[in-house]
Structure 1
Amino acid sequence: MALLLTGVGLAGCGLKSGSPMVDDVRPGPRDAGQPLKGASLTVTSKNFSENIILGEMIGLIFKAAGAEVLDRTNLPGSISARESIVKGDADAMYEYTGTAWITYLGHEKPIENGQKQWEAVRDADRAHGVTWLPQSTLNNTYSLGINQANNKKYKLKTLSDVAALAKKDPSAVTICVENEFASRDDGLPGMQKAYGMKLPAANIKKMDAGIVYTQVSKGACLLGEVFTTDGRIKSLHLDTLADDKHFFPIYDAAPVVHSATFKKYPAIAKLLDPLSKRLNTKVAQELNGRVDVDGQDPHAVAKEWLIKEGFIKNG
């Protein structure tokens, strides 16, 4: 999900959509106070459940800290959300280190170490007026999933195990993927090259991304392209395989803030750093599942979790 782009840009006159966040919330038991009292801030996000949830979390924490908040989450694609931060049409969102390094900053090879990846992005993005706060361990990267019933037979743990099975029994390894992943150098072709796989074309089944999970769950494909933070992994009883050769970039989620905003309100760091420290892949799977599996509203999911974790409370 961190990689999905629609290529939709922002209009020259800036963003027009959005609505005021009207929640009556205050600092919770963690009590960071209200250092943003009198501020007027805009939060944004990309248009998939996880990033919307994270954007709503930022907005609710800003609101509890005294700011008036305009909610402009759910923008179409990575590019439009990115440009809103660069131009100052929005003040803050959660971005992914791998997306920034590869897609925005134009590098071909990821940095394997998550901390160094974040540091490189942080340093490079200063020139674009974007301030990166410390990253979470919420890593929304690619993996291959397999249903647990099938994995009792094959006992796959890593992508190297898949490569070994493909060499031993090519007919056994069928993979469901969406069209973009099937053609990207940082998708299936690159993964096969990195792991020495040579799958027959007939073994690769292309389909819409949302269908992949159900097809793997049903056993229509042995393996399927998944995102590591997707809530359907747990609900559909899928195992995910470790990228033991570190082919896929690390996509750790971190808050990004328009630099002029951060200069004016440096307290934003003290508000969001504790949130990032609490976020991880397991938490993301749980929260994403409430939206994508249970059909709950992302704003409500974000608010309930923040209250439970002591970041905010109802006013």
Structure 2
Amino acid sequence: MFRRSLAAVASAGLILLTGCAGDELADDPAAEEDTGATAGGPVSISGQSFPEAALVTEMYVALLEDAGYSPSVNLVDTRDVYMQQFPGDIDLVPEYVGGLVDYLNRDGEESLTTPDAEETIENAQPLLEEQGIALLEPSEATDTNAFFVTQEYAEENDLSTLSDLEGMTVTLAAAPDCEGRPDCAGGLEDVYGIDVEKILPLGFASQQTYQSVIDGESQLGLTATTDGTLESQGLVLLEDDQDIQPAQNLVPAVSTEFLDTNTDLPTILEPLMAALTTEKLTELNGRVAVDREQPADVARDFLVEEGLLEE
């Protein structure tokens, strides 16, 4: 089920009532146009331009084209950029639950995010409605911050979870904004009791971050749970066993105004959300990042394999 405001539900109900007015009305193209309900047409998509987001966007595009829509896509560097036009000029964004909610609540006094996607969405529902954004059903697949070490370092220190690092001193290779954040260095120190002696601002899942850990300059590096490149580099994730990461489940975010007149979107995109898992997404990311396959090809292969698209 998808979530939207009472006004959106009322609008959808009006569409259904109008559609049942009689055979003459149903057969009248002008009358059908008056209901505001559409099946297909232009849809503007934006989002972030990192490889996973590009891959999921290609899935959206393939499914929407198959349903008769004409998608236009503009991926950008950061959420700050596309949120200036969403909702509005942008109709649809492949999003992450916690990231979007944290952005919308950036001036809030209390956090709305939790490790549970449904709870986070429920907490944020008044804010989402105020902003004119509807979230469809989120996926089981989640992409949160994660921390990795070399396989050798994990074996030497008997590490499998972040709790295993308690009391140890490490250098962390991470994004520049990691310091003090509860889902990054702050959480490692305050929740896990890890002594983060130094943070090297080498980037999120960047080649420089990987290499710093591989070379032993850093013991710990920052990436995502769906990083498909780790195994090929001799790197392993440590489990976030005390849940410092908010829910970052994949979720389609839609302008409520656009959803009101394109009520078939959930039937197009929610089966994709149901088919994706974190493990599958990690494998697909690896095909793009390691095997250098094109995102559009990987996306179509997955959709066909899952029975969501015909060959």
Flag whether TM exceeds 0.5 (same fold).
Answer: yes
1:182 alignment partner, SS class: coil
Cα 1:199–1:283 shift into 2, 3 Å: same
User: Which protein shows a greater Rg?
Assistant: 2
Report what 1:80 is aligned to. 81
Aligned residues: 270
Which of 170, 192, 196 pairs up with 1:195? 192
Which of 172, 175, 179 pairs up with 2:176? 179
Which of 202, 205, 216 pairs up with 2:200? 205
Give the Cα–Cα distance (whole angstroms) in 1 for the partners of residues 238 and 303 of structure 2: 31
CA displacement, residues 198-231 of structure 1 (integer Å, 9 cap, x when unaligned): 3333xx4332331212332444432211211111
CA displacement, residues 250-269 of structure 1 (integer Å, 9 cap, x when unaligned): 21110111111111111111
Which of 52, 57, 60 pairs up with 2:59? 57
Is the 8 Å Cα contact of residues 54 and 302 (structure 1) preserved in structure 2?
yes
Is the 8 Å Cα contact of residues 182 and 244 (structure 2) preserved in structure 1?
no
Q: Is the aligned partner of 1:141 residue 2:144?
A: yes
CA displacement, residues 111-130 of structure 1 (integer Å, 9 cap, x when unaligned): 23232113323442011111
Report what 1:90 is aligned to. 90
Residue 276 of structure 1 deviates from its aligned partner by 0.3
Give the Cα–Cα distance (whole angstroms) in 2 for the partners of residues 219 and 137 of structure 1: 34
2:76 alignment partner, SS class: coil
In structure 2, runs of 5+ residues without a counterpart are 1-36
Percentage of pairs with the same residue: 25
Give the Cα–Cα distance (whole angstroms) in 2 for the partners of residues 122 and 235 of structure 1: 41
Give the Cα–Cα distance (whole angstroms) in 1 for the partners of residues 151 and 251 of structure 2: 32
Give the Cα–Cα distance (whole angstroms) in 2 for the partners of residues 289 and 230 of structure 1: 7
Cα 1:278–1:125 shift into 2, 3 Å: same
1:216 alignment partner, SS class: helix
2:280 alignment partner, SS class: helix
1:312 alignment partner, SS class: coil
CA displacement, residues 142-181 of structure 1 (integer Å, 9 cap, x when unaligned): 12111222212212122211114x1xxx3xx333223222
In structure 1, runs of 5+ residues without a counterpart are 1-34
Which of 37, 42, 45 pairs up with 1:43? 45
Give the Cα–Cα distance (whole angstroms) in 2 for the partners of residues 293 and 270 of structure 1: 32
Is the 8 Å Cα contact of residues 38 and 261 (structure 2) preserved in structure 1?
no
Q: Is the aligned partner of 1:118 residue 2:121?
A: yes
Residue 49 of structure 1 deviates from its aligned partner by 0.8
So what's the TM-score if we normalise by structure 1?
0.78
Cα 1:181–1:274 shift into 2, 3 Å: same
Report what 1:159 is aligned to. 162
CA displacement, residues 99-144 of structure 1 (integer Å, 9 cap, x when unaligned): 1222222255332323211332344201111110011122211121
Give the Cα–Cα distance (whole angstroms) in 2 for the partners of residues 76 and 225 of structure 1: 19
Structure 1 vs Structure 2 CA RMSD: 2.2
So what's the TM-score if we normalise by structure 2?
0.79
Report what 1:17 is aligned to. none
Cα 1:60–1:207 shift into 2, 3 Å: same
